[in-house]
Amino acid sequence: MATAKQNFYKWHRILGLIALIPVMMWTLSGLSHPFMSNWFRPTIAREIYKSQPLQVKPALSLKQVLDKNKVPGFINFGTITYQEQPYYQVMGMDSTYQYYSANTGDVLANGDRLYATYLARYFTQDSTSKITSITIQKAFDAEYQPINHLLPVWKISFDRPDGMDVYIETGQSRMGTFNNNTRKAMLVVFEQLHTWQFLAAIAGEQFRVVVLLIIVGIMLLSLISGLTVYGLFWKKFKTATENRRRDKRKDTRFVHRFHRQLGLAVSLVMFTFTVSGAFHLYVKLANDKHAAKSGIRQMVKTAQLTTSNLSLPVEDSLVKNVGLVQFNGRTFYQLNSTKKQVRYFDVDNGAVLENGDAMYANYLASYYGAEPEKNVDGKVKTAQIREFTNEYGFINKRLPVQQISYPNGENWYVETTTSQLAAKVAGIDRAEGLSFIFLHKYFGMAWAGKNVRDIASMLAALGILVVSVFGFIGFLKNR
């Protein structure tokens, strides 16, 4: 039996040594996260663009403008106001935007660049600082991470002491994110220490996730072996402590004792961190095996626009934007109102499509992989979501969206105004999401406020860090 105990002790030390550096990286970066996301988070004057209805009714319809410029086909269009004048924002077949005056039909040179700059100054409310660079960004990086979802975006960098960068998606007139110098530095550090993106750069994303899963597994084994050692040796530890106190000897094994006692105290939070982290990685690995379907790419012929976009039976003051969608063999004007209502009008005859947004949402869900034919035992429910929820959280960025709920428990969230899949939540995804936000990010303490929640998570990470360091010091003392 003594040999078995010694083996447990030996393997606990080996596993602890292997996990030491990863634990230090994760706990230190975890300690920095509240500073990055809460206390040191930069502020910006406006985070939402409140577009105003067109003050001047366009003199020309979209078809008239496109015919004038000899544009036979395009992907989609929108309406914007720039310098108090109405413009058609037309996405061509090369997926870039051209801007045409809705009054004259003239092309606005460098229109997308100019509009992105206008939006960046709107969000920052900075009309005086020089702009050092404007670049189109088509991939995520350390400063603009996948959590921001939106691509492509314009990155506009201001010549200011805080080094402000603003990321703009012109197609929906919205901001992806914004960073100052402090946040940029912290993002890079967090990406390398916490998510280990350097592994993806070496051998790809799947390699990164597999390595992280192995390390988290080692951490879990280290925790279990540590608790086992404590259980096997606790009588021996207790006797040694009593003998030392009786003989009034100096406590020479303070580090070892503190490592055991604090380790027992933080074992639960370490268990929740490792299990939720492992679950998160496993689900990510499983989902990455199924390539996401690319977004819908439609082509609209200018000749199809029989009904003028200027003759739709909606008050101009209520129109936020107008676009085009194609489904079920038809083409429709998609009108997004200032009241977040989305209506559909047939381009052939102007007829309204009743319940059009729900119909298009169901079409999109099927396009992206939902299988309604397998849910014949119950009705599919569709509802517009206008604010974030526990299941469809702020991390998803897009609002409003349509939620399509199937009887098998799957929820598909689609942003109909961009024809994009915003999120899919199935059984395992829902369980993983809840475990991650409650066991890893401590959202269960949201009732106490963000500051208290962040302090609690920092104390948990700090406890794990101290236990690991004391364990390493104890190992050195035994050599």
Query: How many CB atoms lie under 10 A from the CB of residue 225?
Result: 20
Residue 86 — φ and ψ, nearest 5°?
-80, 140
The mean pLDDT value for 133-138 works out to 95
| Spatial separation of the C-alpha atoms in residues 358 and 33, rounded to whole Å | 39
The reported pLDDT for the residue numbered 290 is: 56
| Spatial separation of the C-alpha atoms in residues 195 and 281, rounded to whole Å | 11
The reported pLDDT for the residue numbered 322 is: 87
Residue with token string 């299988």: 371
Element (H, E) at 135: strand 131-137
The mean pLDDT value for 13-34 works out to 88
Amino acid at 194: H
Listed residue (190, 140, 143, 136) closest to 164, CA to CA? 143
pLDDT at 91 over 90: yes
- Please say whether the beta carbons of 424 and 410 come within 8 A: yes
Taking only the tens place, the pLDDT of each residue in 415-425 is 998 899 988 88
- Please say whether the beta carbons of 338 and 314 come within 8 A: no
The reported pLDDT for the residue numbered 456 is: 85
| Spatial separation of the C-alpha atoms in residues 457 and 459, rounded to whole Å | 5
Query: How many CB atoms lie under 10 A from the CB of residue 375?
Result: 16
Catalogue the long-range contacts made by 212-215 (C-beta closer than 8 Å, 24 or more residues apart): 212/277, 212/281, 213/278, 213/281, 213/282, 213/285, 215/19, 215/22
Mean model confidence pLDDT for the chain: 85
The reported pLDDT for the residue numbered 108 is: 96
| Spatial separation of the C-alpha atoms in residues 374 and 103, rounded to whole Å | 50
The pTM of this model reads 0.83
Comparison of pLDDT for 174 and 240, the residue scoring more: 174
The reported pLDDT for the residue numbered 68 is: 96
| Spatial separation of the C-alpha atoms in residues 128 and 275, rounded to whole Å | 50
Which sign, positive or negative, has the C-alpha torsion 340, 172, 284, 145?
A: negative
Amino acid at 211: V
Listed residue (106, 47, 48, 46) closest to 82, CA to CA? 106
Taking only the tens place, the pLDDT of each residue in 380-413 is 889 999 888 878 877 788 888 999 998 888 899 9
The reported pLDDT for the residue numbered 247 is: 59
Residue with token string 């999109």: 364
pLDDT at 82 over 80: yes
- Out of 42-46, 155-159, 259-263, give the one with best mean pLDDT: 155-159
Query: How many CB atoms lie under 10 A from the CB of residue 54?
Result: 19
Instruction: State the pLDDT confidence band at 231, using cuts at 50, 70 and 90.
Output: low
